[in-house]
Amino acid sequence: FSLLSAQLLSITFLPPSSHLSEPLEHALTMAAIVVVAAAFLRFILDEPSVSRRFMNVGLATTVVMFLLTWWWWRQLALANPNARFNQTWGGTVFFVATGAFAAVDIARLLRKKGWLSSVVSLALGFFVLIGIFRLANFATGHLFDDIFCRVCNGLHILAIPILGYVYIREQSIEKERAEQSLAAYREHLEEIVEERTTELTRANEQLQVEIREREQAEMDIGRRNAELAAQNSIAATVSGSLDLETILETALETVIPALEMDAGCICLLDPENDALVLQTERGASLAGCMGKQEGEGCRCPGISREAVGSVRPVVINVGDGRGGEPAAELNGFRTLVSTPIISRDRALGALSLASRQPEALFPPKLDLLAAIGQQIGVAVENARLYQQTGRWAEELALLHASSTLLTGTLDPNTIYSQVSEQTAMLLGCQAAVVMRWNEERQDATIVFTHGFYEERPPDVELRPRESALLADLLARQSTVAIKDSDDDDRLDDFWRRTLRVRALLCIPLLGKDEPLGFLFFIDQRAPRFWRSDEVAWAESFANHAALALEKAYLYSQVERVATLEERQRIAAEMHDGLAQILSYLALKADYATDLLEDGQVPAVLDQYRDIQAAIERATREVRLSIT
């Protein structure tokens, strides 16, 4: 780089270190190729000692060659400033040595059969060809320097993305393995949750026994026991139910009188957009701070968000400058408190309370409120795990039923109907479209629709050059998830207006050699985020449907071939039998004509009877051939 910069700046004098650049460039290139080849040798063959020995020898050879060629090149460059290193024997030696090491690596890799070793060997083979071409160019006195240089540069550039693709592909495989391990670990966590729930129930029962034994204690101890009783009541309720709505409503109804508060609400974090969503509300109206309908965002004046963010209880006494609004605008509330709902050291939401009394919460009550938030968090986590498990069970049952139906039918229309309706129901989509791909015509046509009850979409033929979405699907041959149709340029008026698409999930039906068709699941209500588990389930349905469709198409082809063979058999039989009879009839007719001309009427009648018998025999043979 420094030498090229000096030439561009017309610098005529360069320090001696400038002669280091070209040999160093070739040495670094050779070292990089040796390291990459050794890495793939280690990864594919799993032979650390061989790959380490290969890399050490290669790097040592590179260093020795660099030292030898650099000292010689320095003398040559000083004597001939216009000389090019890559046109000398020194540059050729680097190329040949690199090709030799690549050839050794290929010989080792080819011992293990497989796609990976073949592709890596192909890429390394390019470096072998580069060495051969460079040696041939040097041997011919650089007569074909322009051709050899372009070919070698092209092979060098081509080898790099091939090796990069192999690396990225193997990283993707490792990612899939990690996801499988994560799923196994998730199942293990579910077992731990169940064990912890049992332990918590036993602890609560033991705590109730202790409370009954200490009913006659001092007033402070009695008040503390009452608070613990309220906490235990909430714990018993939430641990005895797995319905999220019941848990939250019961907890809020219990905690408001226990802490002598006037109103309260519970908000949970939405996992998709991290927004606080109001779940339930009790007590006096919290208009202006928490007064929204269930399912809408929480409007607490920053207190709930602060509790979730800090993962600790937050208290605001109106008038201390933190409330943000005068007491009149907060419906007369003087104290606001919010505690995070925690599970596994992670905030799931917030329990917010309000009182018209100033400084209504003392530190013991605040500790109790924090403990209640943790108990609700455990119950919320258990309820969500239960709901998720139930949803998985339903999805697995649906997948099993659909797979059974798909594998038991050879009717493409039944397969279209089953996969579109069942998957749309699983995803909660209002409509679905199935398109079949014609490889010869290079177009996709609608073969089945679901959810278009008022007006069926027109029969259109989409072509890649006319539809950007179809072209993208054919190029990727993988799922395309579109969150908002208004923000995606691949969707035209056919999708937005005719099909009324707001969000779209596109899944190709891939056959053995070519795409069979495409599934489009449409959400017509609003934009949506397609979760990874939803996409995985839909792809599983699509894969089953693709196998069933390929089997149905193959069966149809077999039927057509069988029909053609049967027709050929009938034609052959009719040719062998019927043709002879027709020839016989022609001879008989000619003979009868001759007899008639001679006036031998009785003989003509005999010939006529023979002709009639032959016709009847031919008719029977034709019927036997057809049946």
Q: Give which of 53, 55, 51, 4 is closest to 25, Cα–Cα.
A: 4
**pLDDT value, residue 503:** 92
**pLDDT value, residue 290:** 41
**pLDDT value, residue 1:** 45
Q: Give the SS3 label for residue 430.
A: coil
Q: Residue 586 corresponds to which amino acid? A: A
**pLDDT value, residue 300:** 53
Cα–Cα distance, 571 to 568 (Å, whole number): 5
Q: What angle, rounded to 10 degrees, do the helices at 145-213 and 115-139 form?
A: 150
Cα–Cα distance, 195 to 532 (Å, whole number): 29
Cα–Cα distance, 49 to 40 (Å, whole number): 13
Q: How many CA atoms lie within 13 A of 459 on its CB side?
A: 3
**pLDDT value, residue 151:** 80
Q: Give which of 354, 263, 262, 352 is closest to 307, Cα–Cα.
A: 352
What is the value of pTM for the model shown?
0.41
Cα–Cα distance, 334 to 319 (Å, whole number): 8
Low-confidence ranges of the chain (pLDDT < 50): 1, 4, 6, 12-18, 287-299, 301, 321, 323-329
**pLDDT value, residue 86:** 67
Give 440-498 as a DSSP string.
Answer: TTTEEEEEEEES--SSPPP--EE-TTT-HHHHHHHHH-S-EEES-GGG-TT--HIIIII
Strands (E) in 240-345, as ranges, are 263-269, 276-283, 314-317, 335-343
Residue 33 near residue 125 (C-beta atoms within 8 A): no
Q: Are strands 461-462 and 443-450 parallel, antiparallel or unpaired?
A: antiparallel
C-alpha to C-alpha distances, 297 to 270, 288, 291, 349, 559, nearest whole angstrom = 10, 13, 10, 12, 60
- DSSP code of residue 217: S
Q: Residue 250 corresponds to which amino acid? A: T
Summarize pLDDT for 38-62 with one digit per residue, the tens.
888 888 787 888 888 888 888 888 8
